[in-house]
Copies of this chain bind each other. A is one copy, B any other.
Amino acid sequence: METGASLLKKGETSKEIYLLSRLQEVGHESDTPVEERLGLHFDLTVPLSRYVVENSGALAFPFKRWQIQKVWRGERPQEGRFREFVQADIDVIGNGDLPDHYEVELPLVMVAALERLREYGLPKATVHANNRKLSEGFYRGLGLTDVEGVLREIDKLDKIGADEVAKLLVSECGANEDQARACLELASLTAADGTELAERFDALAAAHGITSEGETAESYALAKQGLDTLAMIVDEAAAIRPGSVIADLKIARGLDYYTGSVYETFLDGAASLGSICSGGRYDNLASQGNKKYPGVGLSIGLSRLVSYMLHTAGAHASRVSPAVVMVAVWSEDERAASNRIANTLRSRGIAADVAPTAAKLGKQIKYADKLGIPYVWFPGQEGAGDEVKNIVSGDQLEADATSWEPDTVNARQTVVM
């Protein structure tokens, strides 16, 4: 929960916000101004910023944190778009300033995390990076002043295509057709290394009269600042993990709070899924008086990613229960003996369940099978030793709860393709 004032601090947002009211207040919700009402956070960055400002005296800066938590958006639920979902965020926040090496380190942390999921069927992920200063400098150099408006329309490229975006740039952002075409040309620019990026950008800028001289000098200088950071990012990333980050100048991030680098991440062969990991640098989100806490962060949309892995990438849970072994129960009077065996196994780190009822043995085994538990343990009766049956292979052997180890192949809890 956050106050409405905190959620709406940055003014208009592209996110749909849920407000809360107590059941007792139904019919009187509007008595409280939105700013004073409580709402659910629509991301993990706005609450982080509030937290950093409130606790700045106690934190060591640069402050790094990860957070995996639910967020809520008041949208119509549909395939890949949830009202309630889990995000996994990493951010670094500085006090006053923040070195730009974090702008390459943070996307690489996410790439490393996503790379670990490839053995479960996730395709290769590539971070597409852009820089708002680069875009803003270019737009201003063209003579466009509604920078936020242009970014908002460019953000729609993947959804509605270049022709529709061009029309919107003209109708909504005061662009003429040449300016609109130039914005689309910039958006079509990609590069895998810094030199290539600088050459292409300079050629495009020059073609539209944006240079370091004359009237466009200030706009060009702003664009150049963004260009240099972006070039550094792709080159450093290529040195550490080749092919993980490319410059892609259509990345806009709509109405978000970013002020420099912006990132989106796409999976090979899954363009329709959209970005699975997005973020950027935000210099003005957290501030108090004239103190600023600039940050860089990225967020994985975990629910959507897991949904994709299960429904499209072919990952599935190999069994229902985490238990490796189920101890059978001969009769309810002997349940205590079965419990003791299970407790002995558990104390050795072996997850054990006990049969729910002293049903016929076949029914107990069927229950273990339904839960995907690979072993059933038979407590010894009348002085005989215990035995354990691998219900996958059918093998049954004598066993002692103080020393028995499951076969790792059967006992492993895996998510297989």
| Residues of chain A having any CB pair with chain B under 8 Å | 1, 16-24, 26-27, 29-30, 34, 38-40, 60, 62, 64, 70, 72, 74, 83-84, 94, 99, 101, 105, 236, 239-240, 320-321, 332, 335-336, 339, 343, 353, 356-357, 367, 370-371
Q: Known contacts A62-B356, A371-B60; is A336 also within 8 Å of B19 by CB?
A: no
| Cross-chain contact B21 with A29 (CB below 8 angstroms) | yes
How far in angstroms is the closest Cβ of chain B from A315?
18
| Cross-chain contact A339 with B240 (CB below 8 angstroms) | yes
Q: Known contacts A20-B18, A240-B339; is A84 also within 8 Å of B1 by CB?
A: yes
CA distance A92 to B45 in the complex (A): 37
| Cross-chain contact A27 with B24 (CB below 8 angstroms) | no
Copies of this chain in the oligomer: 2
| Cross-chain contact B21 with A239 (CB below 8 angstroms) | no
CA distance A232 to B353 in the complex (A): 21
A98's closest neighbor in chain B, by CB?
B356
Given contacts A19-B22, A26-B30, 13 further A-B contacts (CB under 8 A): A16-B23, A19-B20, A19-B21, A19-B23, A20-B40, A60-B367, A62-B356, A64-B321, A64-B353, A99-B356, A99-B357, A105-B339, A240-B339
Q: Could you say which residues of chain B place their CB within 8 Å of the CB of A353?
A: 64
Q: Most chain-B Cβ atoms within 10 A of its Cβ — which of A60, A70, A74?
A: A60
How far in angstroms is the closest Cβ of chain B from A40?
7
Q: Which of B20, B62, B320, B356 contacts A20 (CB 8 A)?
A: B20
| Cross-chain contact A101 with B335 (CB below 8 angstroms) | yes
22 A-B interface contacts by CB (under 8 A): A1-B72, A1-B84, A16-B22, A18-B20, A18-B22, A18-B38, A19-B26, A20-B20, A20-B40, A20-B72, A21-B21, A23-B34, A23-B74, A24-B74, A26-B34, A27-B29, A60-B321, A101-B332, A236-B336, A240-B336, A240-B339, A240-B343
Q: Known contacts A22-B74, A26-B29; is A370 also within 8 Å of B339 by CB?
A: no
Q: Most chain-B Cβ atoms within 10 A of its Cβ — which of A18, A27, A38, A84?
A: A18
A101's closest neighbor in chain B, by CB?
B335
How far in angstroms is the closest Cβ of chain B from A172?
21
| Cross-chain contact B26 with A18 (CB below 8 angstroms) | no
CA distance A60 to B70 in the complex (A): 28
CA distance A33 to B358 in the complex (A): 48
| Cross-chain contact A60 with B29 (CB below 8 angstroms) | no
